[in-house]
Amino acid sequence: MNPLAALFMRDLKLAGRVGGGAGIGVLFFLIVIVLTPFAIGPDLALLARIGPAILWLGALLASLLTLDRLIAADAEDGSLDLILTGQTPLELAVATKALAHWLSTGLPLVIATPLFALLMNLDTQASLAVALTLLAGTPALTFIGLLGAALSVTLRRGGLLLTVLVLPLTVPVLIFGVSASNAAIVGPLPFGTPFTILCALTLVSFVVGTFAAAAALRHGIE
């Protein structure tokens, strides 16, 4: 079996099993959405107006929440050392891990979005627009977070530091994700402009996140 395919299947399986934490992200997302009306009041018109932004914020925080296990679990049980000493290029290996991580934690957020959008009083078209922007944008969050996960593993300090390092880098994704959603719902911008930039940000983060994370792992383990 191709080593990358093996790594991919292994990560997906681990995410689904006990202790994998694939569902916790979605649960956290739901709780953020439920807490919002308690903070700002049950005004349906207001909720519909800020709904896309709240959904994006919730998805951003939920995808950060699961990041610390992305590489740390492998570092603890020693499989990271195997990946590092293996023949497969490290860049491809970390990209595979990030992809599997996105499938198990990012994609569920996207699928849950149309459902949670009902709580925010969004109509069908609006909730599909938000889900589409999240589909294009959450991979960028995972790949930006990949760098944070790699850094915090090599430093052997996780959690809070990772969040502090990663969050400022997610600002562009958040801006264009929300503005694409709003463009689809209320205009006046055409949906295409911010959405294409969002896709571009995702592609850039594939490259930057992968290479930076691989460099961080290489330089950290010596």
Partner 1 sequence: MLLLDLANPTRFLTLVQRALPWLIGATAVAFTAGLYLAANAPDDYQQGATVKIMFVHVPAAWLAMGIWTLMSIAALGTLVWRHPLADVAAKAAVPVGAAFTLICLVTGMLWGRPMWGAYWVWDARLTSVLILFLMYLGLIALWRTVDDPSRAGRAAAILTLVGAINLPIIKFSVDWWNTLHQPASVLRLAGPAIHPTILIPLLIMAFAFALLFVTLHLAAMRNEILRRRVRTLMLMQAQAAPGSAA
User: Cβ closer to partner 1: 15 or 141?
Assistant: 141
Residues 6 or more apart in contact with residue 74 via CB below 8 angstroms: 80, 83, 97
**Segment interacting with partner 1 (CB under 8 A) among 8-16, 34-42, 82-90, 147-155:** 147-155
Among positions 116-135, residues that touch partner 1 (CB under 8 A) are none
One of 111, 118, 155, 186 touching partner 1 (CB under 8 A): 155
User: Cβ closer to partner 1: 131 or 147?
Assistant: 147
Amino acid at 99: L
Q: Is residue 21 left, alpha or beta, with left meaning phi > 0 and alpha meaning psi from -120 to 50?
A: left
Shortest separation between residue 93's beta carbon and partner 1, angstroms: 17
75 membership: H or E segment, kind and range:
helix 69-77
Q: Phi, psi (5° rounding) for residue 78?
A: 90, -5
Q: How many CA atoms lie within 13 A of 88 on its CB side?
A: 21
Question: By the 8 A CB rule, do 149 and 80 touch?
Answer: no
Among positions 39-68, residues that touch partner 1 (CB under 8 A) are none
Shortest separation between residue 148's beta carbon and partner 1, angstroms: 9
Q: Is 146 in the site for partner 1 (CB under 8 A)?
A: no
Shortest separation between residue 91's beta carbon and partner 1, angstroms: 14
Cis peptide bond N-terminal to 188, omega within 30: yes
* 63: nearest Cα among 204, 197, 202, 156: 202
Q: Is 168 in the site for partner 1 (CB under 8 A)?
A: yes
* DSSP per-residue letters across 43-70: -HHHHHHHHHHHHHHHHHHHHHHTTTHH
Shortest separation between residue 159's beta carbon and partner 1, angstroms: 11
Shortest separation between residue 220's beta carbon and partner 1, angstroms: 6
One of 119, 128, 175, 199 touching partner 1 (CB under 8 A): 175
Question: By the 8 A CB rule, do 156 and 147 touch?
Answer: no
User: From residue 177 to residue 216, what is the string marking binding to partner 1 with x (rule CB under 8 A)?
Assistant: --x--------------x--x---x--x---x---x--xx
Which residues sit at the interface with partner 1, rule CB under 8 A?
147, 151, 154-155, 157, 161, 164-165, 167-169, 171-172, 175-176, 179, 194, 197, 201, 204, 208, 212, 215-216, 219-220
